[in-house]
């Protein structure tokens, strides 16, 4: 009996220790004391599991958890008869979060949910070799017309935009606010630990003209680092390294404080930007998608401040919330699943992602009903505008970054007429950075611009391959009998073997093919 009691005592003692450990885990990190003072401790290791590791990247995958990820419903654009409506209008989209999120699913051995697939973000993840702009406007525009690979009776109209590149000497000083989610849900290795490494990469790219503030939020929001010259890298990295995860998620309060801090340290004619890093799982205070969009819209209209959103993690990832508030906040949106992706966002593409050269960029296409019978825009479902919005300078649209390329593709059904005629009138509006009055550009596209698919540019064929991949993942009704093998063949015929991201795309296509049952 004494031995049995002794054994029970040991079990009880172990349970007490475990309970204390759980309590400590819940309370560590960012906390709010009775005086509402924000505190933070030394970093705590996450509990993610490395899926694969090579010289280029480490991709982190969580232990299996209940999946509460959120995605907005996407209703695929349908064909529209030009007899009913010959004009199509949409905002550009330079986000690419959807592509890296799709990659995360495929690397984990799963096909993504269809609503996680935004085809325009897949296409615009990649760089294309469009001609550099010359003259007064900050971008060039090209078009190309050929057959649709998945339906040779249809044609694709490829529209490409190349933003002007900026030299380092011409970069404006930056006033950056790192708005960091340090709540309990950010503990995993692919969240706060990866987030800190990512922002560290960005910090190394900043110049002596730049300044950084750090705002964190969990159960409450607080300023961890007041505006500090980017030259003081040790102090900034020390503040980042000390952050750890704990508590609930008062995202709305954090956003309000970040805008206040950014406005307080505003640099006139500078690059004033908030970088929000989160899994999007807000659960205290303002937290609904509608509330967050309204909040961001209010600040966008009030301040000349841009918003960059970087999503992290899986399992509870709220893509729907982050995509909506990015669209509302003069911003861009990325999903960071690895250190390699962080390097792409904050090092390779830093000028395109952090420095805006044109605001509220809208595209309007007027099809000639005598030649085009029906048309549909591939992707951009949540960027479609009313036709009257094109001339309305109060209507918000997407921003174009320095050196950015933007690609849009229409699939059209044409008549069999061999007469040379205008196929469409392409119009584009944008606002210069310091102006609230838009500038209109127009160019005609003729039916005689058509060329056979085999004679098209690699830009045309590769972007069509990416579009077909998105359609396959979404189970599009317009993909016909086009298969993964067809998409792989089209990719091999057009991809740049020296571009690591296009090479990776081919690998992801092959992975997706292996997962289809």
Residue 250 to residues 255, 284, 287, Cα–Cα distance (Å): 9, 5, 8
Nearest to 239 by CA among 224, 222, 256: 224
Contact 136, 497 (CB under 8 A): no
Residue 368 to residues 69, 80, 82, Cα–Cα distance (Å): 43, 13, 8
| Distant-in-sequence, close-in-space partners of 181: CB < 8 Å, separation ≥ 6 | 192, 216, 217, 218, 249, 251, 254, 276, 277, 278, 279
Nearest to 254 by CA among 224, 212, 210: 224
d(CA 360, CA 433): 10
* Dihedral sign from CA coordinates of 410, 416, 418, 422: negative
d(CA 416, CA 418): 6
Burial of 150 (0-12, 13-18, 19+ CB in 10 A): buried
What do you get for the CA distance between the two ends of the chain, in Å? 59
Q: Give the 3-state secondary structure of residue 58.
A: strand
Contact 350, 205 (CB under 8 A): yes
Q: Count CB-CB contacts under 10 A for residue 479.
A: 18
SS3 sequence, 427-482?
A: EEEEECCCCCCCEEEEEEEEHHHECCHHHCCHHHHHHHHHHHHHHHHHCCCCCCCC
User: How much is the pTM?
Assistant: 0.87
Q: Count CB-CB contacts under 10 A for residue 267.
A: 16
Residue for token pair 């893509």? 319
DSSP secondary structure string for all residues of 323-336: HHHHHHTTEEEEE-
pLDDT in tens, the chain (517 residues): 433 444 444 444 444 444 444 444 433 333 333 233 343 433 333 333 333 333 344 444 444 446 889 999 999 999 999 999 999 999 999 999 999 999 999 999 999 999 999 999 999 999 999 999 999 999 999 999 999 999 999 999 999 999 999 988 889 999 999 999 999 989 999 999 999 999 999 999 999 999 999 999 988 889 999 999 999 999 999 999 999 998 887 788 899 999 999 999 999 999 999 999 999 887 656 667 788 888 888 888 888 899 999 999 999 899 998 998 888 888 899 999 999 999 999 999 999 999 999 999 999 999 999 999 999 999 999 999 999 999 999 999 999 999 999 999 999 999 988 888 899 999 999 999 989 999 999 999 999 999 999 999 999 999 999 999 999 999 999 999 999 999 999 999 999 999 999 999 999 999 999 999 7
d(CA 438, CA 391): 8
Q: Which residues pair with 365 in a beta bridge?
A: 88, 426
């Amino acid at each position: 009996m004494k031995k049995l009691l002794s054994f029970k005592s040991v079990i009880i003692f172990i349970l007490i220790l475990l309970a204390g450990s759980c309590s400590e885990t819940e309370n560590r990190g960012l906390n709010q004391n009775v005086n509402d003072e924000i505190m933070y401790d030394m970093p705590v290791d996450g509990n993610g599991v490395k899926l694969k590791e090579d010289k280029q990247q480490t991709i982190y995958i969580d232990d299996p958890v209940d999946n509460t990820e959120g995605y907005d419903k996407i209703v695929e654009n349908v064909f529209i008869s030009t007899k009913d409506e010959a004009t199509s209008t949409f905002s550009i989209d330079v986000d690419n979060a959807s592509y890296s999120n799709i990659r995360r699913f495929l690397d984990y051995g799963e096909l993504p949910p269809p609503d996680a697939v935004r085809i325009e973000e897949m296409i615009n993840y990649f760089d294309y070799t469009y001609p550099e702009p010359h003259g007064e406007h900050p971008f060039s525009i090209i078009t190309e017309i050929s057959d649709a690979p998945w339906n040779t009776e249809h044609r694709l109209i490829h529209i490409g935009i190349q933003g002007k590149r900026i030299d380092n000497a011409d970069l404006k000083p930056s006033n950056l606010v790192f708005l960091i989610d340090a709540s309990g849900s950010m503990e995993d290795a692919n969240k706060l630990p990866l987030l800190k490494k990512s922002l560290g990469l960005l910090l190394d790219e900043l110049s002596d003209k730049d300044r950084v503030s750090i705002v964190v939020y969990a159960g409450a929001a607080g300023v961890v680092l007041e505006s500090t010259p980017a030259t003081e890298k040790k102090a900034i990295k020390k503040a980042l390294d000390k952050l750890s995860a704990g508590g609930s998620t008062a995202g709305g309060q954090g956003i309000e404080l970040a805008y206040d801090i950014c406005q307080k340290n505003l640099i006139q004619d500078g690059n004033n930007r908030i970088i929000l890093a989160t899994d999007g799982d807000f659960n205290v205070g303002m937290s609904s998608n509608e509330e967050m969009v309204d909040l961001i819209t209010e600040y966008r209209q009030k301040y000349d401040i841009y918003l960059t959103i970087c999503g992290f993690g899986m399992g509870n990832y709220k893509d729907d919330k982050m995509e909506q508030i990015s669209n509302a906040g003069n911003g861009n949106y990325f999903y960071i699943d690895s250190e390699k992706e962080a390097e792409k966002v904050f090092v390779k593409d830093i000028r395109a992602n952090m420095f805006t050269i044109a605001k509220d960029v809208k595209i309007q296409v007027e099809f000639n009903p005598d030649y085009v019978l029906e048309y549909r825009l591939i992707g951009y479902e949540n960027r479609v505008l009313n036709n009257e919005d094109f001339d309305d300078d109060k209507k918000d649209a997407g921003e174009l970054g320095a050196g950015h390329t933007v690609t849009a593709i229409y699939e059209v059904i044409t008549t069999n007429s061999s007469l040379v005629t205008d196929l469409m009138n392409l119009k584009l509006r944008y606002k210069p950075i310091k102006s609230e009055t838009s500038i209109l550009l127009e160019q005609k596209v003729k039916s005689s611009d058509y060329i056979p698919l085999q004679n098209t540019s690699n830009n045309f064929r590769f972007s069509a391959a990416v579009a077909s991949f998105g359609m396959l993942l979404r189970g599009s009704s317009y993909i016909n009998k086009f298969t993964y093998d067809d998409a792989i063949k089209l990719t091999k015929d057009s991809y740049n073997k020296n571009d690591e991201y296009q090479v990776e795309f081919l690998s992801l296509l092959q992975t997706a093919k292996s997962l289809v049952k």
